[in-house]
Amino acid sequence: MIAAVVPTTTWYLVLAAVLFGIGTLGVMVRRNPLVMFMSIELMLNAVNLSFVALASRLGDINGQVVVFFVLVVAAAEVVVGLGIIVSIMRRRASVTADDLADLRG
């Protein structure tokens, strides 16, 4: 008979730390703005996972409320940020993060 393994809060926090580390590595290593943007979103979702895991562990709903507001702000960020990045990538053949400095007025 095989026993079922029940994930604990620690597992979720370790997963969130690994996801945050992958996102941090993606921001630091890659120069493509689109990949950097996706890495930042991965980091944001890792923090959301830790908020939900700790809210569930503590039996408090405040962590889940914070995640709701973070997701609303992230949706607005995706609309604006992705629009800017895609419009720049349409105009140039190759784009790096250094090319975004041209946006300064």
CA 50 – CA 7 distance, rounded (Å): 14
Neighbours of 53 (CB within 10 A): 21
Residue 105 DSSP SS3: coil
Is residue 25 in a domain?
Answer: no
Q: Provide the pLDDT for residue 4.
A: 83
CA 41 – CA 25 distance, rounded (Å): 13
CB 59 within 8 A of CB 48: no
Domain count, the chain: 1
Is residue 19 in a domain?
Answer: no
Q: Provide the pLDDT for residue 104.
A: 66
For the chain, what is the largest distance between any 2 Cα atoms, rounded to a whole number of angstroms? 68
User: Which comes out higher in pLDDT, residue 4 or 55?
Assistant: 55
Is residue 39 in a domain?
Answer: yes
CA 42 – CA 40 distance, rounded (Å): 5
CATH of the domain at 71: 1.10.287.3510
User: Which comes out higher in pLDDT, residue 83 or 100?
Assistant: 83
Q: Provide the pLDDT for residue 61.
A: 92
Is residue 82 in a domain?
Answer: yes
Q: Which of 4-18, 64-78, 87-101 has the lowest mean pLDDT?
A: 87-101
Q: Provide the pLDDT for residue 26.
A: 95
Is residue 74 in a domain?
Answer: yes
pLDDT at 101 over 90: no
**Domain range holding 51?**
32-100
Q: Provide the pLDDT for residue 105.
A: 59
Neighbours of 19 (CB within 10 A): 19
pTM (predicted TM-score): 0.83
27-77 pLDDT tens trace: 999 888 888 989 999 999 999 999 999 999 999 999 999 999 999 998 998
Residue 82 DSSP SS3: helix
